[in-house]
Amino acid sequence: MEIEYIYSSGHRVWSDLQGRWIFTQPCCDHNLALEEYDLTLLPQQQVKLLIMPEEVLPHETPGLQLRQLLSRSEESMFPLLSRAAQVTTWSRDHNFCPRCGDALRHHHQDLAKQCDGCGLTQYPRLSPCIITLVTRGEYCILAQGVRFTEPRFSTLAGFIEAGESAEDALAREVREEVGVEVSNIRYHCSQSWPFPHSLMLGFFADYVSGEIVPEPGEIVDARWFHYSELDEAPIPPPFTISRQLIDEFVKRCRAGD
Ligand SMILES: [Zn+2]
Protein backbone atom coordinates (compact mmCIF):
# COMPACT_ATOMS: atom_id res chain seq x y z
CA MET A 1 0.00 0.00 0.00
CA GLU A 2 1.18 3.50 -0.81
CA ILE A 3 2.18 5.55 2.22
CA GLU A 4 1.01 9.15 2.43
CA TYR A 5 2.95 11.84 4.26
CA ILE A 6 2.01 14.84 6.36
CA TYR A 7 4.70 17.31 7.46
CA SER A 8 4.76 19.74 10.32
CA SER A 9 7.19 21.96 12.15
CA GLY A 10 6.82 23.96 15.34
CA HIS A 11 3.09 23.77 15.99
CA ARG A 12 1.89 23.92 12.38
CA VAL A 13 0.89 21.41 9.77
CA TRP A 14 2.81 22.32 6.61
CA SER A 15 1.05 23.03 3.31
CA ASP A 16 2.38 23.86 -0.13
CA LEU A 17 1.41 26.73 -2.42
CA GLN A 18 -1.68 24.87 -3.62
CA GLY A 19 -2.86 24.38 -0.05
CA ARG A 20 -2.10 20.64 -0.12
CA TRP A 21 -1.08 19.14 3.21
CA ILE A 22 -1.01 15.39 2.46
CA PHE A 23 1.45 14.00 -0.08
CA THR A 24 2.12 10.71 -1.86
CA GLN A 25 5.75 11.66 -2.62
CA PRO A 26 8.36 12.81 -0.08
CA CYS A 27 8.72 16.61 -0.04
CA CYS A 28 12.03 16.69 1.84
CA ASP A 29 14.76 14.44 3.24
CA HIS A 30 13.03 12.18 5.76
CA ASN A 31 16.36 11.38 7.44
CA LEU A 32 16.24 14.89 8.91
CA ALA A 33 12.89 14.32 10.67
CA LEU A 34 12.90 15.18 14.38
CA GLU A 35 10.08 12.75 15.06
CA GLU A 36 7.85 10.42 13.11
CA TYR A 37 4.37 9.15 14.02
CA ASP A 38 1.99 6.72 12.42
CA LEU A 39 -1.31 8.58 11.99
CA THR A 40 -3.17 5.79 10.18
CA LEU A 41 -6.88 5.87 11.00
CA LEU A 42 -8.32 3.72 8.21
CA PRO A 43 -6.85 0.37 7.12
CA GLN A 44 -6.87 1.44 3.45
CA GLN A 45 -4.92 4.66 4.04
CA GLN A 46 -1.51 4.46 5.66
CA VAL A 47 -0.32 7.88 6.82
CA LYS A 48 2.88 9.10 8.46
CA LEU A 49 3.48 12.40 10.21
CA LEU A 50 7.02 13.76 9.98
CA ILE A 51 7.92 16.59 12.32
CA MET A 52 10.72 18.49 10.60
CA PRO A 53 13.10 21.27 11.62
CA GLU A 54 11.65 24.49 10.19
CA GLU A 55 14.61 25.14 7.86
CA VAL A 56 14.12 21.80 6.08
CA LEU A 57 10.65 22.43 4.66
CA PRO A 58 10.59 24.44 1.41
CA HIS A 59 10.55 28.10 2.36
CA GLU A 60 8.87 29.63 -0.64
CA THR A 61 5.48 28.60 0.72
CA PRO A 62 3.96 30.70 3.45
CA GLY A 63 1.74 27.84 4.62
CA LEU A 64 -1.89 28.08 5.62
CA GLN A 65 -3.26 28.35 9.13
CA LEU A 66 -5.05 25.29 10.46
CA ARG A 67 -8.48 26.93 10.23
CA GLN A 68 -7.88 27.71 6.56
CA LEU A 69 -6.74 24.15 5.90
CA LEU A 70 -9.81 22.75 7.65
CA SER A 71 -12.19 25.03 5.80
CA ARG A 72 -10.67 24.08 2.42
CA SER A 73 -10.44 20.33 3.03
CA GLU A 74 -12.96 17.64 2.25
CA GLU A 75 -15.00 16.75 5.32
CA SER A 76 -13.71 13.17 5.11
CA MET A 77 -10.15 14.48 5.64
CA PHE A 78 -11.05 16.46 8.76
CA PRO A 79 -10.16 13.68 11.28
CA LEU A 80 -6.72 13.13 9.77
CA LEU A 81 -5.84 16.82 9.63
CA SER A 82 -7.14 17.30 13.15
CA ARG A 83 -5.05 14.34 14.33
CA ALA A 84 -1.89 15.64 12.64
CA ALA A 85 -2.33 19.08 14.21
CA GLN A 86 -2.97 17.68 17.69
CA VAL A 87 -0.04 15.25 17.63
CA THR A 88 2.25 18.05 16.41
CA THR A 89 1.23 20.39 19.24
CA TRP A 90 1.36 17.63 21.83
CA SER A 91 4.81 16.48 20.70
CA ARG A 92 6.19 20.03 20.84
CA ASP A 93 4.80 20.59 24.35
CA HIS A 94 5.74 17.24 25.93
CA ASN A 95 9.49 16.80 25.94
CA PHE A 96 10.03 16.15 29.65
CA CYS A 97 8.43 13.87 32.20
CA PRO A 98 5.96 15.82 34.39
CA ARG A 99 6.67 13.45 37.30
CA CYS A 100 10.48 13.23 37.45
CA GLY A 101 11.75 15.73 34.85
CA ASP A 102 13.73 13.27 32.68
CA ALA A 103 13.61 13.58 28.90
CA LEU A 104 10.74 11.67 27.28
CA ARG A 105 11.34 9.41 24.31
CA HIS A 106 9.15 7.69 21.74
CA HIS A 107 7.03 4.83 22.98
CA HIS A 108 8.12 1.75 21.04
CA GLN A 109 4.57 0.67 20.22
CA ASP A 110 1.90 3.26 21.01
CA LEU A 111 1.34 6.80 19.82
CA ALA A 112 2.87 8.04 23.06
CA LYS A 113 6.08 9.08 24.78
CA GLN A 114 7.61 7.39 27.76
CA CYS A 115 10.01 8.18 30.56
CA ASP A 116 12.90 5.78 31.14
CA GLY A 117 13.52 7.34 34.56
CA CYS A 118 10.19 6.51 36.22
CA GLY A 119 8.24 4.59 33.57
CA LEU A 120 5.46 7.16 33.10
CA THR A 121 3.73 7.03 29.70
CA GLN A 122 2.31 10.21 28.16
CA TYR A 123 -0.42 10.03 25.51
CA PRO A 124 -1.65 12.93 23.39
CA ARG A 125 -3.95 14.96 25.59
CA LEU A 126 -7.68 15.22 24.87
CA SER A 127 -9.97 17.73 26.58
CA PRO A 128 -13.65 16.76 26.42
CA CYS A 129 -16.09 19.65 25.95
CA ILE A 130 -19.83 19.83 25.66
CA ILE A 131 -21.42 21.91 22.93
CA THR A 132 -25.17 22.37 22.85
CA LEU A 133 -28.08 23.93 21.06
CA VAL A 134 -30.79 24.88 23.56
CA THR A 135 -34.18 24.92 21.87
CA ARG A 136 -37.76 25.94 22.66
CA GLY A 137 -40.16 25.01 19.87
CA GLU A 138 -39.02 26.84 16.74
CA TYR A 139 -36.48 28.97 18.63
CA CYS A 140 -32.91 28.30 19.75
CA ILE A 141 -30.34 30.15 21.86
CA LEU A 142 -27.14 31.35 20.18
CA ALA A 143 -24.46 33.46 21.83
CA GLN A 144 -21.46 35.57 20.96
CA GLY A 145 -18.42 34.80 23.11
CA VAL A 146 -15.93 37.48 24.15
CA ARG A 147 -13.10 35.55 22.50
CA PHE A 148 -14.72 35.35 19.07
CA THR A 149 -12.50 37.08 16.52
CA GLU A 150 -15.47 38.17 14.39
CA PRO A 151 -19.13 38.97 15.11
CA ARG A 152 -20.71 35.53 15.15
CA PHE A 153 -23.48 33.73 17.02
CA SER A 154 -22.78 30.15 18.02
CA THR A 155 -24.00 27.31 20.22
CA LEU A 156 -23.00 27.22 23.90
CA ALA A 157 -19.90 25.23 24.84
CA GLY A 158 -17.52 24.53 27.69
CA PHE A 159 -15.04 22.08 29.17
CA ILE A 160 -16.17 19.12 31.24
CA GLU A 161 -14.64 19.46 34.70
CA ALA A 162 -13.12 16.66 36.79
CA GLY A 163 -15.86 14.50 38.27
CA GLU A 164 -18.64 15.76 36.00
CA SER A 165 -20.72 13.79 33.51
CA ALA A 166 -21.26 15.41 30.11
CA GLU A 167 -24.89 16.09 31.08
CA ASP A 168 -23.86 17.74 34.38
CA ALA A 169 -21.34 19.91 32.54
CA LEU A 170 -23.94 20.92 29.96
CA ALA A 171 -26.51 22.02 32.55
CA ARG A 172 -23.81 23.96 34.45
CA GLU A 173 -22.37 25.67 31.37
CA VAL A 174 -25.80 26.74 30.10
CA ARG A 175 -26.70 28.08 33.55
CA GLU A 176 -23.38 29.98 33.82
CA GLU A 177 -23.29 31.37 30.27
CA VAL A 178 -26.91 32.41 29.75
CA GLY A 179 -28.70 31.79 33.07
CA VAL A 180 -31.34 29.31 31.90
CA GLU A 181 -32.27 25.80 33.03
CA VAL A 182 -32.52 22.87 30.59
CA SER A 183 -33.77 19.28 30.50
CA ASN A 184 -34.13 16.38 28.04
CA ILE A 185 -30.43 16.46 27.09
CA ARG A 186 -29.88 14.35 23.91
CA TYR A 187 -26.54 13.38 22.42
CA HIS A 188 -26.26 14.13 18.67
CA CYS A 189 -22.66 13.74 17.43
CA SER A 190 -19.03 14.51 18.27
CA GLN A 191 -16.06 16.16 16.59
CA SER A 192 -12.35 16.34 17.21
CA TRP A 193 -11.46 20.04 17.45
CA PRO A 194 -7.72 20.72 17.24
CA PHE A 195 -7.61 24.14 18.96
CA PRO A 196 -5.58 22.75 20.56
CA HIS A 197 -6.94 19.35 21.67
CA SER A 198 -10.67 19.33 22.35
CA LEU A 199 -13.17 16.58 21.78
CA MET A 200 -16.52 18.28 21.25
CA LEU A 201 -19.58 16.28 22.36
CA GLY A 202 -22.66 17.75 20.69
CA PHE A 203 -26.08 17.72 22.36
CA PHE A 204 -29.54 19.17 22.02
CA ALA A 205 -31.28 20.38 25.18
CA ASP A 206 -34.80 21.66 25.88
CA TYR A 207 -35.32 25.01 27.55
CA VAL A 208 -37.13 24.77 30.89
CA SER A 209 -37.00 28.16 32.65
CA GLY A 210 -35.20 31.46 33.16
CA GLU A 211 -34.53 34.69 31.28
CA ILE A 212 -31.37 34.92 29.16
CA VAL A 213 -28.64 36.75 31.11
CA PRO A 214 -25.25 36.75 29.31
CA GLU A 215 -22.37 35.88 31.64
CA PRO A 216 -20.19 38.97 32.22
CA GLY A 217 -16.66 38.52 30.90
CA GLU A 218 -17.61 35.45 28.82
CA ILE A 219 -20.64 36.24 26.66
CA VAL A 220 -21.06 39.53 24.79
CA ASP A 221 -24.59 38.83 23.61
CA ALA A 222 -27.04 35.92 23.65
CA ARG A 223 -30.59 35.67 22.37
CA TRP A 224 -33.33 33.54 20.92
CA PHE A 225 -33.31 32.99 17.15
CA HIS A 226 -36.29 31.73 15.17
CA TYR A 227 -35.15 28.99 12.78
CA SER A 228 -36.17 31.11 9.77
CA GLU A 229 -33.63 33.81 10.81
CA LEU A 230 -30.68 31.43 10.73
CA ASP A 231 -30.12 31.55 6.95
CA GLU A 232 -29.14 35.21 7.31
CA ALA A 233 -27.57 35.11 10.78
CA PRO A 234 -23.75 35.15 11.25
CA ILE A 235 -23.44 31.51 12.33
CA PRO A 236 -20.34 29.23 12.30
CA PRO A 237 -19.03 27.71 9.02
CA PRO A 238 -20.25 24.30 7.78
CA PHE A 239 -17.24 22.27 8.95
CA THR A 240 -17.99 22.98 12.63
CA ILE A 241 -20.09 20.83 14.95
CA SER A 242 -21.88 23.99 16.07
CA ARG A 243 -23.16 24.42 12.52
CA GLN A 244 -24.13 20.75 12.30
CA LEU A 245 -26.33 21.16 15.38
CA ILE A 246 -27.91 24.33 13.97
CA ASP A 247 -28.50 22.75 10.54
CA GLU A 248 -30.11 19.69 12.12
CA PHE A 249 -32.43 21.92 14.18
CA VAL A 250 -33.45 23.91 11.08
CA LYS A 251 -34.04 20.71 9.13
CA ARG A 252 -36.31 19.34 11.87
CA CYS A 253 -38.25 22.61 12.12
CA ARG A 254 -38.77 22.71 8.35
CA ALA A 255 -39.99 19.13 8.44
CA GLY A 256 -42.46 20.14 11.16
CA ASP A 257 -40.99 17.88 13.85
ZN1 LIG B 1 9.66 10.25 34.72
Using one digit for the tens of pLDDT, what is the confidence trace for 145-163? 998 888 899 999 999 999 9
Helical H runs in 204-257? 241-254
* Residue extents of the structural domains in the chain: 3-93, 94-125, 127-254
Q: Exposed, middle or buried: residue 243 (CB in 10 Å: 0-12, 13-18, 19+)?
A: middle
C-alpha distances out from residue 218 to 138, 143, 207, Å: 26, 10, 21
What is the CA(51)–ligand 1 centre distance, in A? 23
Q: Are strands 3-9 and 46-51 parallel, antiparallel or unpaired?
A: parallel
Q: Which residues surround ligand 1, an ion (CB under 5 A)?
A: 97, 99-100, 102, 115, 117-118, 120
* Closest C-alpha to 46, from 14, 3, 94, 10: 3
Number of H helices, E strands in the chain: 4, 13
What is the CA(99)–ligand 1 centre distance, in A? 5
What is the pLDDT, as a whole number, of residue 61?
58
Domain 127-254: CATH superfamily, name plus number:
Nucleoside Triphosphate Pyrophosphohydrolase (3.90.79.10)
pLDDT band at 100 (very low <50, low <70, confident <90, very high): very high
Using one digit for the tens of pLDDT, what is the confidence trace for 203-256? 999 999 999 999 999 999 999 999 999 999 999 998 899 999 999 999 999 998
Whether the Cβ atoms of residue 90 and residue 107 lie closer than 8 Å to each other:
no
